[in-house]
Amino acid sequence: MSEDVPVWQEEVVQRLRGVKYPGFSRDIVSFGLVQDMTLEGTELKLRLKLTTPDPAVPEKIGKEIRDCLKGYALVKSVAIETEVAPPQATASTGPQEISGVRKIVAVASGKGGVGKSTVAANLAVSLAKKGLKVGLCDCDLYGPSQAMMLGCQDGVRVEEGTERIVPAECHGVKLMSMGMLLGDDSPAALRGPMVTRFTQQFLRQVAWGDLDVLVLDLPPGTGDIQLTIVQTVALDGAVIVTTPQEVALVDARKAIAMFRKVNVTILGILENMSYFVAPGSAERHEIFGSGGGKREAQRQSVPLLGEIPLDPEARRCGDEGKPVVLANSSSPSAKVFSDFASQVTKILFPNISS
């Protein structure tokens, strides 16, 4: 904090950092909700900017603000004025469109290891196969895997004159990884406000060119990083990937709640690793349980976009850098991946035939 900030304000901000936005791990200061504060006598006047018209939110935040200031001698009472602004107008600059990009879709999962990156890679190449101009952005800052899944050896280059970064291109998909822009000296764990700055910088720096769809492969989970990305980029929708088992569904629910809080449409749930059929047999082995994705989709009133079988080909092709929809389009998983991509296309571009 700079030297001209009064001590009382420094103390109040410090205390407000302990007030979490309801349902999130992030506090109201780093969320950018606190617009202004003045101290008149011992009355603290706070102006908050919220994105939701739900009266329960300012009520809950107000109570926590008063609680966190209890015991601070300079503040005896708190007057809170709230202003409700649409989500675009909050945070530092609000969700940004990416110039030249028509649709932006996030592929997310609450839990790691459910096949989110495999889904994002197969979605991107399937959309490209349909003739769409597609970009794929690996937003996993610490464990990027898309370069491997798309077999991308090329690095990115810097465009002369504009100094923007030109994505690599593999299987007709423009690929960029957020991890590539982090220097070796970046801190091991970026905090919320740093991620906001980084994401905004990233959005301005990549020369995506003209794209029909940009697929964002989000890092697993629903923490600060995910929340910041979904708030910073103007998303057209999100696909939630889960396996049928409860432990994955619990986290998928959290991911859905996160998107809904920031008014992002859930395009649907895609269940992965739904069953296994051994070659030459007709018997379905439901290794991770059965019907979890379908039940959750019904509960959330969103479409179930497919049930992808466990398929050794999906794993092998991913490891070899050519997604299964390209490398072995007749394999059991490839068919479901293609159908899923067609559904996403229909939702995003209702006027084109897929």
Q: What's the CA gap between 115 and 112, in Å, rounded?
A: 8
Least separation in angstroms between residue 42's CB and ligand ADP is 52
Among 30, 90, 109, 122, which residue interacts with ligand ADP (rule: CB under 6 A)?
A: 109
**With respect to ligand ADP, which residue has the nearer C-beta, 241 or 348?**
241
**With respect to ligand ADP, which residue has the nearer C-beta, 110 or 167?**
110
Q: Cα torsion for 10, 11, 13, 15, to the nearest 10°?
A: 160
Contact flag: residue 138 with ligand ADP (CB under 6 A): no
Contact flag: residue 107 with ligand ADP (CB under 6 A): no
Q: Taking a C-beta distance cutoff of 8 angstroms, is the pair 284, 275 a contact? A: yes
- Computed over its alpha carbons, how large is the radius of gyration of the chain? 22
SS3 134: strand
Q: What's the CA gap between 132 and 105, in Å, rounded?
A: 14
Least separation in angstroms between residue 240's CB and ligand ADP is 11
- Binding to ligand ADP in span 173-202, by CB under 6 A: none
Stretch that binds ligand ADP, among 17-25, 60-68, 180-188, 306-314 (CB under 6 A): 306-314
Least separation in angstroms between residue 296's CB and ligand ADP is 17
CA neighbor of 271 nearest in space, from 103, 104, 105, 111: 111
Among 33, 264, 310, 327, which residue interacts with ligand ADP (rule: CB under 6 A)?
A: 310
Q: What's the CA gap between 73 and 69, in Å, rounded?
A: 9
Least separation in angstroms between residue 266's CB and ligand ADP is 17
Q: What's the CA gap between 175 and 166, in Å, rounded?
A: 9
DSSP letter at 218 equals: P
**With respect to ligand ADP, which residue has the nearer C-beta, 211 or 314?**
314
Stretch that binds ligand ADP, among 59-67, 68-76, 81-89, 309-317 (CB under 6 A): 309-317
Beta bridge partners of residue 239, listed in sequence order: 107, 268
DSSP letter at 173 equals: E
Contact flag: residue 273 with ligand ADP (CB under 6 A): yes
Contact flag: residue 112 with ligand ADP (CB under 6 A): yes
Question: What is the C-alpha end-to-end distance of the chain, expressed in Å?
Answer: 54
Least separation in angstroms between residue 17's CB and ligand ADP is 31
E strand or H helix at 135, and its extent? strand 134-138
Among 314, 334, 341, 347, which residue interacts with ligand ADP (rule: CB under 6 A)?
A: 314
What is the chain's length? Answer: 354
Among 18, 55, 113, 209, which residue interacts with ligand ADP (rule: CB under 6 A)?
A: 113
Least separation in angstroms between residue 117's CB and ligand ADP is 3
Among 51, 117, 242, 338, which residue interacts with ligand ADP (rule: CB under 6 A)?
A: 117
CA angle 227, 229, 232 (to 5 degrees): 105
Q: Which spans of this chain sit near ligand ADP (rule: CB under 6 A)? A: 109, 112-118, 145, 220, 272-273, 308, 310-311, 314-315, 318, 333
